[in-house]
Chain A
Amino acid sequence: MAGDLPFEKPLVEMRKKIAELKQFGVEKEIDFSDEIARLEERYRLLEEEIYSNISPSQKMHLARHHGRPTSLDLIGLIFTDFIELHGDRLFGDDLAVVGGIGKLEGIPVTVIGHQRGKDTKDNIARFFGSPHPEGFRKALRLMQQADKFRRPIITFIDTKGAYPGNTAEERGQSEAIARNLREMSGLGVPVVCVVIGEGGSGGALAMAVGNRVLMLEHAIYSVISPNGAASILWKDASKADQAAEAMKITADDLLAMEVIEEVIPEPKGGAHRDYESTASAIKDVIVRHLHDLAGLDADELKEDRYRKFRKIGEFAESQAAEEVFSEEPALSPE
């Protein structure tokens, strides 16, 4: 199968063996059906073993799989009557972010997502899914529009991070992200965010301040890409796998830390193996969470979101600080 990852190699080899045996049986007109059945059973067991023990670094590769469904793939399968809307009204239209209005089970909603390209050309046009400030500002514009018309907001998170370029800096990358964080906290409609691939740093969070934050089973979400962490911590970007293990970036890790509310199971082998069942699983979970949130008014939704993020963080508090300062100030104001 195309796009197999290194850890799937034993499965690939076994599939090859089964196919060869089948072929051989046909050519020589020998009945191998017992052997084939036995091999297929062993294949199922091996598959079970491999896919139920996917390590964080293997998940990182799954989350970045080129065949993984993108926001637009999922939007097409989950929503009806989708109309894409463009532009931030300030500078341009960043194709690394897509958004618009569609219907979910007949109810109008606003849906926004990071958009990776499907091929090299598309990826270049979409900056590999890494937004400039205008991408975040487009997202915010559409969210505020949703707020005005009382539409629930669904966001799909799938980015390596905000675009690290001079043009992005000149136009206020920091400000665009920070503003989204602040403004999203004040939205009076339900906000449900789903990390579908890679949730990379501030560029992911800038569209993920939701009442509910959910993750696909093999999605990852972290403060810095494992590659970036490895190059800073160990001066070696090739230690990304090691960093991925240390950083607790998987959906299960984030669920345990109460950063996300739910993990959405993926088809065996990952979302790229079956778009439709992936989309349908996501849809069911989003609909359930929107039903849960339906009873809350605007203020309660804001309060719910505030509380969700307010409680995140681990620290220790002691009664008195250590005496670490010495006696006399060396500097004094003029």
Chain B
Amino acid sequence: MFKDLFQKKRKYATVPSQRLEQTKEPAEGERPKREIPEGLMSKCPKCGSIQYSKELEKNLKVCSECGHHLRLNAPERIAVTLDPGSFIEFDAGMKSVDPLGFPGYSTKLEQQQLKSGQIDAVITGQGSIGGHPVIAAVMNFEFFTGSMGSVVGEKITRAIEEATEKKLPLIIFSTSGGARMQESILSLMQMAKTSAALARFGESGGLYISVITDPTTGGVSASFATLGDINIAEPGAVFGFAGRIVIEQTIRQKLPDDFQTAEFNLQHGQLDMVVHRKEMRSTLSKILELHDVKGGF
């Protein structure tokens, strides 16, 4: 049934690089620092170095100067991680509604859809990595800061159930500001829903690899993102429950720069490894291969 709907595969990863700069537009009256033909050059948000957008993309959006991993949107992530042409999307037509009649939510959803070219904050489907078939869910920070409402919770739960049924490994690429406030309690309950589905998947013996990308916080970090059999993060990715500002207000202290980074979490035992984007495909492929044979000797 799904096949008929989604076989006509869309091509992924086509986001003009100038979008990266849109968020960085200078305030009115402020003199733009450099004149750059739109889209031709990109600036690293971390070290500020200017590089050709094409070069940056060839480098998987990792800054050649400082190694900073720029955020990828979901189509880009699928393009750089899954085997080309292997991905078949599930539930592509699932849309958020405004269950609470929350002020401004419907308008905001439309704006987010126009801005990101996405329907909601996650893409799920089946594909392969290094020839190993996987069920994958890829979150999208560009859409509504990757917030989890009913659609994200439902699509991820269905993906987990699909993986359970098909006995396939599951990989979730997380990035999210947390639960979507505008769906209030329904968003919160998605944490329980996805985690319960993972419990069943785990009982069935399925392998779940959680890939944490920048940033992963709040309701997503406190549910499926931390529940991997193996938890991997990209270098520098912010990963934690409470936001830095909230914590600083609570403890009345300034936090160190590396607080809640992937490296900080690795040091505190919350991650299995921190993997460079260039190594991600091969690392995932290797882990999948190591789980191909169960039992042995």
Measuring CB to CB, which residues of chain A are less than 8 angstroms from any residue of chain B? 162-166, 168-175, 177-179, 181-183, 185-186, 201-202, 205-206, 209, 221-224, 228-229, 232-233, 246-249, 253-254, 257, 259, 305-306, 309-310, 312-334
Contact = CB atoms under 8 A, between A and B. Distances in A.
B287 interface: no
Contact of A257 (B75, B117, B185): B185
B265 to A, nearest CB: 9
Given A222-B185, A248-B185, A174 B13 contact: no
A223 B219 contact: yes
Nearest to B220: A174
Interface in B2-25: 5, 10-17
B164 interface: no
A323 to B, nearest CB: 8
A332 B93 contact: no
Contacts of B92: 320-321
Interface residues of B, number: 92
Given A257-B99, A309-B196, A320 B5 contact: yes
Contacts of A168: 241-242
A224 B196 CA distance: 21
14 contacts: A163-B250, A169-B242, A171-B268, A174-B226, A177-B241, A178-B223, A205-B188, A247-B181, A257-B186, A314-B186, A326-B14, A327-B14, A329-B12, A334-B278
Nearest to B129: A333
Interface in B187-212: 187-193, 195-200, 202-203
Nearest to A186: B199
B154 A254 contact: no
A313 B119 contact: no
B52 interface: no
B268 A172 contact: yes
Contacts of A175: 226, 270
A229 B268 contact: no
B142 to A, nearest CB: 12
B144 interface: no
Given A182-B198, A222-B184, A329 B14 contact: yes
A328 to B, nearest CB: 6
Interface stretch (B29-37, B40-48, B79-87, B165-173): B79-87
Contacts of A259: 185-186, 189
Interface of B: 5, 10-17, 57, 60-61, 72, 75-76, 79-84, 89, 91-97, 99-100, 102-103, 113, 117-119, 149-151, 153-154, 157, 179-181, 183-193, 195-200, 202-203, 218-219, 221-227, 239-243, 246-247, 250-251, 253, 255, 259-260, 268-270, 278, 281
B97 A314 contact: yes
A38 B91 CA distance: 65
Given A221-B185, A312-B150, 12 more contacts: A174-B222, A174-B270, A179-B226, A186-B199, A205-B191, A209-B196, A223-B187, A248-B185, A257-B185, A312-B192, A319-B93, A330-B16
Given A162-B242, A314-B186, A319-B5, A178 B226 contact: yes
Contact of A247 (B16, B184, B193): B184
Contacts of B12: 325, 329
Given A169-B260, A319-B93, A321-B92, A328 B14 contact: yes
A185 B160 CA distance: 15
A317 B94 contact: yes
Contact of A178 (B186, B222, B259): B222
Given A165-B251, A175-B270, A312 B193 contact: yes
Contacts of B199: 182-183, 185-186
A165 B270 CA distance: 16
Given A246-B100, A313-B186, A315-B151, A331 B11 contact: no
B192 A205 contact: yes
Nearest to A232: B181
Contacts of B14: 325-330
Contact of A169 (B89, B113, B240): B240
Nearest to A200: B188
Top 4 A-B pairs ranked by shortest CB distance? Answer: A313-B150, A164-B242, A185-B196, A181-B195
A221 B184 CA distance: 9
Contact of A223 (B10, B82, B185): B185
B11 A327 contact: yes
B117 to A, nearest CB: 4
A317 B242 contact: no
A173 B93 contact: no
